Amino acid sequence: MLSYLQLYESFFGPFRLFQFISVRAIFAGITALLIGYFIGPKLIKFLQDFGARQAFRDKNEVGDLADLHQAKAKTPTMGGLLIFGSVLISAFLWAEPNVYVIAALVAYILLTLVGFTDDYLKVAKKNSKGLAGRYKLIGQLITTAVVLFILLGPWSDFLSGVDGKATGSALKMRELWVPFYKDPMLIAMPMLLVFLFFLITLTGASNAINLTDGLDGLAIGCTVTVALTYGIMAYASGNYVIADYLKISWVPGSGELTVLCAALLGGSLSFLWYNAHPAEMFMGDTGSLAIGGLVGAIALMVHQPLTLIIVGGIFVIEAGSVILQVASFKSRGKRIFLMSPIHHHFELKGWKETKVVIRFWILSLLFALIGLATLKLR
> What is the per-residue DSSP string for 249-298?
---TTGGGHHHHHHHHHHHHHHHHHHHSSSPS---HHHHHHHHHHHHHHH
Query: How many Å apart are CA 103 and CA 174, to the nearest integer?
Result: 15
Name the region of 58 (left: φ>0; alpha: ψ -120 to 50; beta: rest): beta
- Alpha-carbon distances, residue 96 vs 28, 91, 163 (angstroms): 12, 8, 9
Per-residue pLDDT tens digits of the chain, which is 378 residues long: 676 666 666 677 776 777 889 999 999 999 999 999 999 999 999 998 887 776 655 554 555 565 555 667 688 989 999 999 999 999 999 998 889 999 999 999 999 999 999 998 888 776 667 788 889 999 999 999 999 999 987 776 666 665 666 666 777 888 888 888 888 888 888 989 999 999 999 999 999 999 999 899 999 999 999 999 999 999 999 999 999 999 999 998 899 999 999 999 999 999 999 999 898 999 999 999 999 999 999 999 999 999 999 999 999 999 999 999 999 988 888 889 888 899 989 988 889 999 999 999 999 999 999 999 999 887
> How many angstroms from the chain centroid is the CA of residue 246?
25
pLDDT value of residue 124: 76
- Is residue 105 within 8 A of residue 92, CB to CB? The reply is no
The identity of residue 145, as a single letter, is A
Closest C-alpha among 256, 265, 368, 246 to residue 302: 256
Query: How many Å apart are CA 207 and CA 197, to the nearest integer?
Result: 15
Contacts of 110 (CB under 8 A, 6+ apart): 139, 142, 143, 146, 293
Query: How many Å apart are CA 285 and CA 119, to the nearest integer?
Result: 6
Give the sign of the dihedral formed by CA 172, CA 101, CA 111, CA 212.
positive
pLDDT value of residue 7: 64
DSSP labels, 191-251 = HHHHHHHHHHHHHHHHHHHHHHTTSTTHHHHHHHHHHHHHHHHHHHHH-HHHHHHHT----
Give the sign of the dihedral formed by CA 257, CA 260, CA 262, CA 265.
negative
How many CB atoms are closer than 10 A to CB 44?
Answer: 18
pLDDT value of residue 97: 87
pLDDT value of residue 82: 96
Closest C-alpha among 310, 318, 305, 307 to residue 198: 305
Element (H, E) at 347: helix 342-348
pLDDT value of residue 133: 85
- Is residue 202 within 8 A of residue 304, CB to CB? The reply is no
Give the CA dihedral 85, 89, 90, 92, nearest 10 degrees. 140
Closest C-alpha among 331, 295, 320 to residue 87: 295
- Is residue 201 within 8 A of residue 305, CB to CB? The reply is yes
